[in-house]
Structure 1
Amino acid sequence: MSAALAVKNDGSSAGPSAAEPPPPRVRRRRERSFDETPRWQLYVPLGIYLIFTLIPFYWMFLFSVRPAGSTSLVPWPMTDDHFSKVWNERSFAIFFQNSVLVGVCTLLTTTLVALAGGYALARFRFKIKTPFMLALLCSQFIPGALLLVPLFEIFKNLQMINSLGSVIIAETVFQLPLSIILISGFIRNVPPSLEESAWVDGCSRFRGFCLVVLPLLRPGLIAVGSFAFVHSWNHFLFALMFLSEQDKQTIPVGLNTLIGADSVDLGALAAGGVIAAVPVVIVFAFIQKWLITGFSAGAVKG
């Protein structure tokens, strides 16, 4: 009886063994790898999605290089008349310069402030930490249009109406909540032991952060900064409300000026759209490279 109980209490003897291999049918199902999937099941949906995505871009490019009055579906013969018109006659060179200035300044201010705020949320404990995080999340539900009148009054009292600084401040404020949350998530993935090792070696908190943590945050900083740049580059509402003079307007507002009350110059509008889309495409291609990279790879020695 005791021998039977001993056998029964033995985990490897009572019931099916944990080391017992699964049935052949289950084993074959598990061993089936992704490479065995028919290629058409992968490429056909991706091809349909790619065509659906690229058709608007092709249509915009076609109108931008096709001569006026042409109905050809092939961009040949090509002309640069539309690009020359919007760049020289429609002041798109100034719009492009203003958009670059707003985008770069928004990128820098958003990244620096979000870096400080994200580090505080990730490394310090304080009483209002949870309510503060909740307030940051809830702020994402507030549309910017609701704050246009208060912001206009504030910038008017500060004499910043018709200044690119007003657009930069507004864009930075609306980008900060999400940027702080993202940066704090990146910093939490960096082990605190790395900073503590730097402190033991004589580094201050700021120097240890710059030498140890900051290099590991490079992909996260590039992603957050790039998103801030793209958002400020494409945003139309703030530039429309706070900028009135033509030499202070940005590309989204400049594109709006190409739409007349009675007619629309499709060639010029498409050329302006291509000019506006090229920097965004380049930035997103750059984002993809850094998002794939592991931002903490090699941080901890084995």
Structure 2
Amino acid sequence: MRRKRAVPNTIAVLVSLVVIFPVYWMFATALKEPGRILSATPEFLPWPLSLENFRTALTHGPFLHYVRNSLLVSVSTVLIALIVALGASIALARFRFLGRRAFLVGLVLVQMVPGSAMVIPLYLMLRSVGAIDFVPGLIVTYMTFVLPFTIWTLRGFVAGIPLELEEAAMVDGCGRFGAFWHIQLPLLAPGIVATSIFAFISAWDDYLFAYVFLKSQNNYTLPVWLVSFQTSDGIDNGATIAASAIFSLPVLIVFLLIQRRLVGGMTAGAVKG
């Protein structure tokens, strides 16, 4: 039995090392002294350790202000997407109405459209309503890409919950909302976690729409802040790598904390319904 597992385990370890190595190299490079970053000889262990690159990154512009903007945009996108997607997924899974199949096909087709192809149409739409350089306008933009995936995934979870559970709760005295709150919502937790992380990462990592739609530095998010290390005098490689490491930390920490729920939610939502 152990011999049968040896080969797939070895392959899994090798793939994991290949995937993890760029992340390790980023943090290792950020901890090197600024003069050693462009060394011709690779140094896999950053010794002696230096925090100079992190100090430069954190003092470059109003860092905490950009963090606040990114958190505001990302968290708002997640909350609004979940509220809308929960209602839409329940309607698609529990009710039969005219145009339901066409709507489901539309959800799939929308996810196939590359985001870069939507920059000009979205820019014109936001400009027509005066939402350029307006943080809520950026949140609405992210919603157009997050909602289809969120609705589709949660619909699979709702369809996998037996209708008899809700009917039994309503017979016992729960109303429609009570059955949702006490029965459906706890069972939807893995799907909510999976879609929340997807929505958060989509909003947190985006650079293209934030750069195009936000004009004033006061509204910049962290991805736009990262580009500010490139100036006419050159690129501060150490500070840029340190800023990238700081930028990636929240996503890495959240993913490590809930990775089991995330993987379980993605796979369960893919096969149900």
If the length of structure 1 is used for normalisation, what is the TM-score? 0.81
* Number of residue pairs the alignment of both structures matches: 261
1:215 to 174, 186, 205: 186
2:71 to 100, 103, 122: 100
Mapped pair 1:165 → 2:132: no
1:134 paired residue number: 105
DSSP-derived class of the 2:230 partner = coil
Identity over the aligned pairs, expressed in percent? 35
- Find runs of 4+ consecutive structure 1 residues off by over 4 angstroms: 292-295
Moved more, 276-285 or 174-183: 276-285
Q: Which amino acid in 2 is paired with 1:35?
A: R
Contact 1:155 1:161 in 2 (8 A): yes
2:161 paired residue number: 190
1:239 paired residue number: 210
Q: Which amino acid in 1 is paired with 2:15?
A: Y
Mapped pair 1:266 → 2:237: yes
2:20 to 42, 51, 54: 54
Mapped pair 1:148 → 2:115: no
Q: Which amino acid in 2 is paired with 1:98?
A: N
User: Root-mean-square deviation (CA), in Å?
Assistant: 2.0
Contact 1:259 1:265 in 2 (8 A): yes
Q: 1:268 to 1:144 in 2, by over 3 A?
A: same
CA shift, 1:144, in A, is 2.1
Separation in 2 of the partners of 1:294 and 1:277?
23
DSSP-derived class of the 1:75 partner = coil
Q: Based on CA coordinates, which of the two structures has the bigger radius of gyration?
A: 1
Separation in 2 of the partners of 1:61 and 1:292?
25
Contact 1:236 1:253 in 2 (8 A): yes
1:88 to 52, 59, 66: 59
Unaligned runs of 5+ in 2: 267-273
1:9 paired residue number: none
Moved more, 194-203 or 282-291: 282-291
Contact 2:193 2:265 in 1 (8 A): no
Mapped pair 1:37 → 2:4: yes
DSSP-derived class of the 1:37 partner = helix
Separation in 2 of the partners of 1:292 and 1:145?
28
Q: Which amino acid in 2 is paired with 1:290?
A: R
Contact 1:136 1:177 in 2 (8 A): yes
CA shift, 1:170, in A, is 0.7
1:120 paired residue number: 91
Q: 1:45 to 1:261 in 2, by over 3 A?
A: farther
Unaligned runs of 5+ in 1: 1-33, 296-302
2:47 paired residue number: 76
Contact 2:70 2:221 in 1 (8 A): yes
Contact 2:77 2:142 in 1 (8 A): yes
2:197 paired residue number: 226
Contact 1:63 1:266 in 2 (8 A): no
Separation in 1 of the partners of 2:44 and 2:161?
53
If the length of structure 2 is used for normalisation, what is the TM-score? 0.89
Q: Which amino acid in 1 is paired with 2:2?
A: D
Separation in 2 of the partners of 1:120 and 1:219?
19
Q: 1:97 to 1:130 in 2, by over 3 A?
A: same
Moved more, 145-154 or 179-188: 145-154
